[in-house]
Amino acid sequence: MNKRTLTGDVSHFSQGKFQQSIRWILLSLVAILGLTVFHHFEYLSLGRKPKTELNTIKYSGEHINWEPCGDLKGDPLECSSINVPIDQFAQNPDPNPNQTFAIPLMRLRAAKATQNLLVNPGGPGASGIDLLYRRGSQLRAIVGEGFHLLSFDPRGVNSSIPAASCYPDDETRRRLSGSSILNPLLEASTIYAWAKNFAQACSDTMGEYASYINTPQTAADMNSILNAVGQRDMIYWGFSYGSLLGQTYAGLFPERTQRVIIDGVVNQFKWYDGIYEIESQVNVEEVLDGFFEECLKTDNYSCPLFDLTVSKDPRVLSRIVRSYIDDLGPNPLNVYLNSSAYGILNFDHVWRNGVLPALYNPAGWSFLADVLCLLIRGDATRAFLAFGTNHPQRDESSKFVTLNDGLSGPDHWPQSSAGLIHWMLPYLLNSSLTPSDISLYFLKQQWKLPRTHSYVPRRGVETAHPLLILSTTYDAITPLVSAVSANEAFDRSQIIEVEGYGHSSLAVASVCVVKHVRAFLYEGIMPSNYTKCEVDSPYFIRKNKNDKVPTRLHFQDPEDQIIHDAQLEFVTGWEVIL
């Protein structure tokens, strides 16, 4: 459902009352990685003996060549790509090589593995290549040595070709995409005009490819990936939007769904045929309350906001922080650092670029507390540097997927500016919809591209093996109630609830949940009923001078210790879990 100072997600921003919270997350991981060959190294003990020709490797049973592209702590990385038809569901796919998407692949090999575990970080629009390169070592320690870790950039995303774009070049994107809507009721006509132009530009820029960047097509692409590596059964772990991709795959190809984990779950029924944004917000207030409660359970080193209230009552601390940020709506701050670094810090910056991203990833809570405490005490420099700039996306894949998947166009939305605002007025008055939500609905209204998929979510789907469903108790963007909807959709599936805050199970450390994941992946063992796992990590985490996490539990079992340490490194190193 898939990052910037604390995260690269494109979050919704609220105005007026801080009580207004979030719709959903259009995550997009930063630090884009191309398929550059990093350096040459020898392949040793890789399980199957490779056949090497020049600098490429081909494995028995596979149908693609790989190139060495680096290593992670001594484990070899290899890169490849496949071409997939523009329309996976066409009865007679066009053989024209220009009618394809090029999908880049990256794999972290394991010495004794014979199967591939596909992983998707979310978004829509997040890079699987980036995930594997930056967090592959930790995932390897969490999953174990029994699987090659395989990921990819979905069609339209990052280094796939063509990448989804509504602009001919980056300069045009920078010039035309930097608008900020502060009052959707007063600026509805402006949003309407912008959305009309934007939708037309997306169609014109991408041409015939525009309609085929959607989740069902990507799900079918995953079969092409499996076929290329000679594997029939889908073994998969998808986070956030990756959970939607996993559900869609299981609905389309239940016979190949052998080991599928969906984590941080999107409600597929509301995504495809409803108003997903309303349900996605239901836990925002609980997570924000948890931020203040956990702060006052620690100390002023881990959470400097600790000293703002003598009573140590989280409700008092919440009122202090919320009232200050609320006041930035009518009274933004001017911040001047020097003649080339100055600007305005407003409610939108602090809420959308600071608070919301941290709610997804509790490992950022200490940093957020630092910045907010300085801000409230009169020093806005750090807040301006951290939150004061809205960074444009590298591509528009998140919008293409969202708008192509769901209910878009004149058949589903009033076609006038006033008509759409009238339709949305009950939600504006009685929910936490934000200006970003309003912009999205104007895009849904103006999106004229036809659906190129016929996927309809169903209940009672019987898959080759039941799905494993993971969720935290309080997730600010994919709430636990959405996991329940997936449980109802897939026969014999089971939920594991991680009793804490954060976006997906990997937002916190829990050896308990990893043991269940391993039992599922390696042996197909499902929990016998609804299961809960405790959190092993603190919410306010500070690294020491050596960039290590000093707060860690100590386990008697050495393997449990490896898992725990990898989880802590994961949550403190990955800005957002998608």
Q: Residues 149-183: pLDDT tens digits?
A: 999 999 999 999 999 999 999 889 888 875 566 66
Q: What is the span of the domain harbouring residue 71?
A: 51-163+215-235
Per-residue model confidence (pLDDT) at position 170: 87
Give domain status of residue 554, yes or no: no
Give domain status of residue 142, yes or no: yes
Of 302-306, 316-320, 376-380, 539-543, minimum mean pLDDT range: 539-543
Per-residue model confidence (pLDDT) at position 31: 29
Per-residue model confidence (pLDDT) at position 445: 95
Name the residue among 312, 314, 101, 286 with its Cα closest to residue 209.
Answer: 101
**What confidence tier does 572 reach under pLDDT thresholds 50, 70, 90?**
confident
Name the residue among 292, 294, 349 with its Cα closest to residue 321.
Answer: 292
Residue 234 has pLDDT above 80, yes or no: yes
DSSP letter string over 404-419?
Answer: HHS--STTTS-SSHHH
Give domain status of residue 248, yes or no: no
Residue 337 has pLDDT above 50, yes or no: yes
Show Cβ contacts of residue 459 under 8 Å, excluding neighbours closer than 6 positions. 488, 489
Give domain status of residue 223, yes or no: yes
Residue 577 has pLDDT above 80, yes or no: no
Q: Residue 250 carries which side chain, given as an amino acid letter? A: A
DSSP letter string over 251-304?
Answer: HH-GGGEEEEEEES---HHHHHHS-HHHHHTTTHHHHHHHHHHHHTTS-TTT-G
Cβ atoms within 10 Å, residue 255: 11
Whole-number percent of the chain with pLDDT over 90: 70
Please state, rounded to an integer, the average pLDDT across all residues of the chain.
86
Instruction: Pick 547 or 559 by higher pLDDT.
Output: 559
Residue 269 has pLDDT above 60, yes or no: yes
**What confidence tier does 143 reach under pLDDT thresholds 50, 70, 90?**
very high
Give domain status of residue 407, yes or no: no
The whole-angstrom separation of Cα 118 and Cα 406 is 25
Residue 304 has pLDDT above 60, yes or no: yes
Give domain status of residue 265, yes or no: no
Give domain status of residue 534, yes or no: no
Residue 32 has pLDDT above 60, yes or no: no
Of 67-81, 196-210, 232-246, 428-442, minimum mean pLDDT range: 428-442
Instruction: Pick 413 or 41 by higher pLDDT.
Output: 413
Residue 550 has pLDDT above 80, yes or no: no
- Across the strands, what pairs with 461? 490
Per-residue model confidence (pLDDT) at position 38: 29
Give domain status of residue 322, yes or no: no
Instruction: Pick 175 or 503 by higher pLDDT.
Output: 503
Per-residue model confidence (pLDDT) at position 426: 79
Structural domains counted in the chain:
1
**What confidence tier does 39 reach under pLDDT thresholds 50, 70, 90?**
very low
Supply 495's token pair: 């939920």
